[in-house]
Structure 1
Amino acid sequence: MLARAVDHLPVAGALPGQLVFEPKWDGYRTLLSVLDERVRLCSRTGTDLTGCFPEVARAATDLNEDVVVDGEVVVYTGGRLEFTALQHRLGRSSATVSRLARTEPAHLIAFDLLHRAGTCLVRRPYRERRRALEEFFADHHLVAPWSLCPASTDRRQAEEWMSHWSAVGVEGVVVKGADQQYEPGRRGWLKVRSRRSTEALAGAVTGPVRLPHTLLLGRHTPEGRLCLVARTTPLAAAQQADLGRLLTPGTAAHPWEGMRVTAHWGSRDLLRFTTVEPGLVVEFEGDTAVDHGRWRHPVRVRRLRPDLAPGDVPRFGAGYETTPG
């Protein structure tokens, strides 16, 4: 079952039954199944992840009962959830994966139970599945790499998750209805991403410079190298016009000349873009999925900041650190 993005926390009545809030984790959505003593970890797109996370698979083997658990595989390192650490597991040798399982162990944060001991729970309401999930954890005295996802009906708790937990890699909140059945493939849940704003330099555009479609944003390293940090969503007409008046086409000496950028995360298609002189500061809004200074998802332009100089922009790697004013 999937979630549909909304801009704000919903009010009562938005979903069947009482609203239940859960943190939205920055990890790999994973279905774990133990059937006839065979363990399988499967991604949302059907990719077999069992060999990528052997520590989770071993823990599932020890259950000695048939279950199907829906959850998120995460790696917590350096004080936060680290999405790139998950990527390091893909396509690696078993020796490398085994080493990473020791140095950067993964956890499965379970938030739904779909099957247990011959009983299918898919058509049961969420409140019953949640109760069964909690009983499953209690019956087995589960500890790491197992983790039970927090759930709350308190809106203030959801707001705290969004405001204070983003620093450790929580992307926002997923909202479920207590009376909802589990409907595979349907976007019946709701998700609200935590969003914050900061600044970067316009370094390139897609489309014509005088009427750009999107921006490629950059920040300088302490050594002065301009690094790509984000791509924006499509610009509004007024933003296109304002930018067209302020942007200057880049020269052959632009640091991004010849740079190869994929069209979107996970794609092999290359993006066609035109460089511009990196002198215009842009304030943008994005979610909390920031990997080593780069925003994984497209960001949204809030406003242009001609009042700020390039030197006022946070350095590459600073994340959401902002300039004053």
Structure 2
Amino acid sequence: MTLRPPVEPMLAQAVESVPGPGVLGELAFEQKFDGYRALLFTPTGPDSAMLLQTRRGSLIQDRFPDLVTAADKLPDGLVLDGELVVWDTKAGHLSFEGLQRRTTARGRRSTRALATSLPAFFIAFDILQQDGSELINFSYRQRRLRLEALFAARHLSAPWTLCPMTTDLLKAEQWLESWTEISGVEGIVVKAMNQPYRPGHRGWYKLRRRNTTEAIIGAITGTMIRPQLLLLGRHDAYGDLRTIGRTAPLRAELARLVGGNLIAAEAGHPWEGWRFASAWGSRDILNVTLVRPELVAEISADTAVDRGGVFRHPVRFKRLRLDVTVEEVPLFSPGPSAPPAEGSG
């Protein structure tokens, strides 16, 4: 049976540490890139064309003419699972914002212009179909061997990239510590070597590198006594308080602790009149209460930061730093990015 979109991708659940081999058996570790999940379908006959499907089932191949052109290097009847990223040629790094621009572009002229300044890469980490035959019931080990053989036999290079994988836990830990210093690589994904591919099932595990740092509490949701979320900021070089993100919901005991130290904002708060999205990229607006930007929060955050210096994922509140002043909090700054490896790496 031939796979055709929409196909639900297999998913990963976030964990704090690598699951033991006793639970999953022999493990594989892949680098986790910060892009858009995508499934790629090559033609199955003379009347079909390459299709590029998002995680939610939308088809976006018309936004990526560079990938469509490069698909002639791929065999027919192929389905790949991977991560879609783009490279900002002017800035010289991976760009999540550029990826958003490409996926929302309209019109042939616009998509082709963006393909020049923001070329796309498809980082393949799984193969679900080959020569028109489904492979989802094959083990990950078998599928990975077929994927590696495909890259070797076809001499595939940019924009087709083979996701780095290792079965060496020490090497994976090195990736987690060193590669995640590069914005654009945010962690590792752990997979069992004997696993089949189960569409829609959270059978993999993802670990993002998390760094502990400080930020200023500028606003909250909930009540002053029992805040739910903390909206965080940092001063820039000019002394302006810039937003950097929000926390995940606070546990009850932490909410009581924070609430006991909050003071309502007076007139002239730097965020007066601002509106805050409920999530990164969302149009839903939070109902917030401004507070005096005098409290410092210690937070744990992953490495996914957009060019505007905002954490794309909610950070974790660890504790109040009543011993630290706002002047001691790191200054606001955006983060760098770096390119994906080419070829079979």
Give TM class, smaller chain. Answer: over 0.9
Stretches of structure 2 lacking an aligned partner (at least 5 in a row): 1-9, 337-345
**How much does 1:108 deviate?**
0.4
* Amino acid corresponding to residue 297 of structure 2 in structure 1: V
* Amino acid corresponding to residue 53 of structure 1 in structure 2: F
**How much does 1:190 deviate?**
1.1
2:340 corresponds to:
none
1:160 corresponds to:
174
**How much does 1:318 deviate?**
5.3
Find the partner of 1:106 among 108, 113, 120.
120
Percent identical among aligned pairs is 47
Q: Using the alignment, how far apart are the partners of 1:67 and 1:146 within structure 2?
A: 13
2:7 corresponds to:
none
Q: Using the alignment, how far apart are the partners of 1:79 and 1:177 within structure 2?
A: 35
**How much does 1:261 deviate?**
1.2
| Equivalent position SS for 1:13 | helix
Find the partner of 1:135 among 149, 156, 161.
149
Q: Using the alignment, how far apart are the partners of 1:128 and 1:162 within structure 2?
A: 25
Change (3 A) 1:64 1:12: closer
**How much does 1:308 deviate?**
1.5
Q: Using the alignment, how far apart are the partners of 1:237 and 1:26 within structure 2?
A: 32
2:18 corresponds to:
9
Aligned length: 319
CA contact (8 A) 1:158 1:173 kept: yes
TM-score by length of 1: 0.94
1:190 corresponds to:
205
1:119 corresponds to:
133
Is 2:38 aligned against 1:27?
A: no
1:215 corresponds to:
230
**How much does 1:72 deviate?**
0.4
| Equivalent position SS for 1:87 | helix
| Equivalent position SS for 2:21 | coil
CA contact (8 A) 1:203 1:277 kept: yes
1:89 corresponds to:
102
1:298 corresponds to:
314
Q: Using the alignment, how far apart are the partners of 1:195 and 1:107 within structure 2?
A: 26
* Amino acid corresponding to residue 32 of structure 2 in structure 1: K
CA contact (8 A) 1:294 1:317 kept: no
Is 2:283 aligned against 1:268?
A: yes
**How much does 1:237 deviate?**
2.4
2:86 corresponds to:
75
Is 2:164 aligned against 1:150?
A: yes
Q: Using the alignment, how far apart are the partners of 1:166 and 1:81 within structure 2?
A: 13
| Equivalent position SS for 2:249 | coil
More displaced, 227-236 or 95-104? 95-104
CA contact (8 A) 1:22 1:175 kept: yes
Q: Using the alignment, how far apart are the partners of 1:298 and 1:203 within structure 2?
A: 15
1:19-46 Cα offsets, whole Å, 9 max, x none, are: 0000111011000001224101000001
Stretches of structure 1 lacking an aligned partner (at least 5 in a row): 321-325
* Amino acid corresponding to residue 22 of structure 1 in structure 2: E
1:293-313 Cα offsets, whole Å, 9 max, x none, are: 110010011121122211111
Q: Using the alignment, how far apart are the partners of 1:14 and 1:55 within structure 2?
A: 42
Q: Using the alignment, how far apart are the partners of 1:21 and 1:252 within structure 2?
A: 52
* Amino acid corresponding to residue 136 of structure 2 in structure 1: V
CA contact (8 A) 1:202 1:281 kept: yes
**How much does 1:201 deviate?**
0.3
CA contact (8 A) 1:161 1:170 kept: no
**How much does 1:213 deviate?**
1.1
Q: Using the alignment, how far apart are the partners of 1:294 and 1:123 within structure 2?
A: 40
TM-score by length of 2: 0.88
CA contact (8 A) 2:11 2:201 kept: yes
| Equivalent position SS for 1:219 | strand
Change (3 A) 1:108 1:319: closer
1:66-87 Cα offsets, whole Å, 9 max, x none, are: 2000000112445653211111
**How much does 1:202 deviate?**
0.2
